[in-house]
């Protein structure tokens, strides 16, 4: 098991959580051959840093790649990678599963995370599956409503008063002391689990562009590493252009990228409807910046209005995503208009999580009232 810091280059033989320089660490590049197999874990068996504990799987991954009608208007071939159908309705399950495989093997009796949304539910569910305790640390402002979807799995949910930004680092420190394996947003096993998204896409087609909603940067790094490993293994010829998409109201990575900076800075007063991608100081921000520069990739921002419109358009095609997950489609429209994405190219947008998680700001449409006696008229 070899881990390397993508920023300072330090190497580790132990599965550390982060580099001593403060940046995330990542596993070496795996070069291997795929096999025939039922699940993505089995088909890409030699690409994981640890044996996936298949008995702990809840059926994460192997999600549909759906050809979208929306591409037609824009003149591109558009495909939607529908991650909303994962066991807890977001792609987080892929990473949680691999990290839980490690935690169980390493003998941990408890796992944890710092999150209020999709990651919290995912870690709580896999802890239940594996018979581990779950410690979920949430911010003071987390709503009771959201926490129901976490505590239902039997997790200990702890509301922490204090600086939410510091919680990420405190949790790693205390986790080590108390024997709780924290599977935070860019935990190295979690990031590895996300590679499966790239593998599955490549099994079906070779995209020119992949649009990736980006918050902590863990998802972006995982998909990037997946495609890089496919290329290094000789399984694809060219890397697609990856596009990190952020909400205008919280876009520390795109801002640093646009200003040519090497390091991200905290995004003050973040404000966006896309709560799942509202990390104002993303722990993998610098690592994502480095990838964008190294490979000539892109960063794009979208407004809340554009996000809501894209959410409606996706629902109009039968797929209900949460606002964060509609950002890819919102960005696509702008990038086609500006000519940055050319016509007739193949584009994949990652639909990261389900709209049922954020019903409170979803607008229902076309609800009519009708008396039973006049039902025939109402139906006409």
Ligand X SMILES: *Cc1c(COP(=O)(O)O)cnc(C)c1O
Is residue 119 within 8 Å of 146, Cβ to Cβ?
Answer: no
Residue nearer to Zn ion on the CB measure, 184 or 301: 184
The nearest distance, CB 370 to ligand X, in angstroms, is: 36
Per CB under 5 A, 186 contacts Zn ion: no
Note whether 185 and 163 are within 8 A (CB).
Answer: no
Q: How far is the CB of 328 from Zn ion (least distance, A)?
A: 30
Residue 352 binding: pick among Zn ion, ligand X, none (C-beta 5-8 Å cut-off by kind): ligand X
Complete DSSP assignment for 189-230: HHHHHTHHHHHHHHHH---SEEEEE-SSSHHHHHHHHHHHHH
Strands 209-213 and 346-351, bridge-based pairing? parallel
User: Of 123-131, 143-151, 208-216, 298-306, which segment contacts ligand X by CB under 6 A?
Assistant: 208-216
Which of 3, 15, 18, 23 binds Zn ion (CB under 5 A)? It is 23
Stretch that binds ligand X, among 31-39, 209-217, 290-298, 328-336 (CB under 6 A): 209-217
Residues in the chain: 380
Work out which of 101, 116, 187, 352 binds ligand X, going by CB under 6 A.
352
353 binds ligand X (CB under 6 A): yes
Region of 8-16, 29-37, 154-162, 363-371 interacting with Zn ion (CB under 5 A): 8-16
Q: Binding of Zn ion at residue 160 (CB under 5 A)?
A: no
Residue 93's binding partner among ligand X, Zn ion, none (Cβ under 5 to 8 angstroms by kind) is none
358 binds ligand X (CB under 6 A): no
3 forms part of the interface with Zn ion (CB under 5 A): no
Considering beta carbons, is residue 34 or 117 the nearer one to ligand X? 117
CB–CB of 348/65 below 8 Å? Answer: yes
Closest distance between ligand X and the C-beta of residue 146, in Å? 12
Cβ atoms of 18 and 7 closer than 8 Å:
no
Site membership for ligand X, residue 216 (CB under 6 A): yes
C-beta of residue 87 within 8 angstroms of C-beta of residue 59: yes
**Which of Zn ion, ligand X, none binds 251 (CB below 5-8 Å, type-dependent)?**
none
Q: Does 325 bind ligand X (CB under 6 A)?
A: yes
Verify binding: residue 118, ligand X, rule CB under 6 A.
yes
Spatial contact of 70 and 331, defined as CB atoms under 8 Å apart? no
Residues 179, 210: contact at Cβ < 8 Å? no
d(CA 283, CA 169): 10
87 contacts ligand X (rule: CB under 6 A): no
Q: Provide the 8-state DSSP code for 331.
A: H
Told to check if 219 binds ligand X by CB under 6 A, we report: yes
Nearer to ligand X, 56 or 211 (CB): 211
Interaction partner, residue 216 (Zn ion, ligand X, none; CB < 5-8 Å by kind): ligand X
Min dist CB 279 to ligand X, Å, is: 6
With H, G, I as helix, E, B as strand and everything else as coil, classify residue 182.
strand
Long-range contacts of 336-345 (CB under 8 A, 24+ apart): 336/74, 336/75, 336/76, 340/298, 341/76, 341/208, 341/209, 343/75, 343/76, 344/75, 344/76, 344/77, 345/76, 345/77, 345/208, 345/209
Q: Name the one range near ligand X by CB under 6 A: 24-32, 58-66, 139-147, 216-224.
A: 216-224
DSSP conformation class of 30: P
By CB under 5 A, name the binding residues for Zn ion: 5, 8, 10, 19, 21, 23
């Amino acid at each position: 098991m070899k881990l390397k810091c993508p920023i300072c280059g330090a190497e580790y033989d132990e599965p550390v959580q982060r580099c001593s320089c403060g940046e995330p660490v990542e596993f070496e590049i795996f070069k291997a051959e795929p096999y025939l197999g039922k699940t993505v874990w089995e088909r890409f068996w030699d690409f994981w840093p640890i044996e996936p504990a298949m008995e702990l799987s809840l059926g994460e991954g192997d999600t549909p790649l759906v050809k979208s009608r929306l591409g037609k208007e824009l003149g591109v071939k558009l495909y939607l990678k529908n991650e909303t159908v994962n066991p807890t309705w977001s792609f987080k399950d892929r990473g949680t599963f691999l990290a839980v495989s490690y935690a169980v093997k390493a003998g941990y009796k408890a796992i944890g995370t710092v999150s209020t949304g999709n990651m919290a539910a995912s870690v709580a569910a896999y802890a239940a599956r594996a018979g581990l305790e779950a410690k979920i640390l949430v911010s003071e402002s987390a709503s009771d409503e959201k926490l129901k979807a976490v505590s239902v799995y039997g997790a200990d949910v702890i509301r922490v008063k204090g600086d939410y930004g510091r919680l990420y680092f405190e949790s790693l420190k205390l986790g080590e002391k108390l024997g709780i394996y924290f599977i935070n947003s860019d935990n190295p096993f979690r990031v590895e689990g996300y590679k499966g998204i790239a593998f599955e896409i490549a099994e079906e087609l070779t995209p020119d562009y992949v649009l990736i909603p980006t918050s902590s940067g863990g998802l972006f790094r995982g998909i990037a590493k997946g495609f890089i490993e496919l290329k290094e293994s000789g399984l694809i010829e060219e890397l697609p252009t990856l596009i990190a998409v952020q909400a205008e109201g919280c876009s520390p990575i795109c801002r640093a990228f646009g200003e040519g900076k090497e390091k991200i800075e905290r995004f003050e007063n973040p404000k966006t409807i896309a709560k799942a991608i509202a990390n104002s100081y993303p722990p993998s921000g610098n690592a994502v910046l480095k990838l964008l520069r190294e490979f000539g990739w892109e960063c794009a921002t979208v407004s809340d209005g554009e996000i809501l419109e894209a959410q409606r358009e996706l629902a109009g095609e039968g797929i209900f995503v949460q606002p964060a997950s509609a950002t890819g489609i919102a960005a696509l429209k702008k990038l086609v208009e500006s000519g940055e994405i050319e016509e007739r190219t193949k584009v994949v947008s990652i639909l990261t999580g389900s709209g049922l998680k954020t019903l409170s700001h979803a607008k229902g449409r076309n609800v009519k009232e009708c008396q039973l006696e006049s039902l025939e008229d109402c139906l006409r």
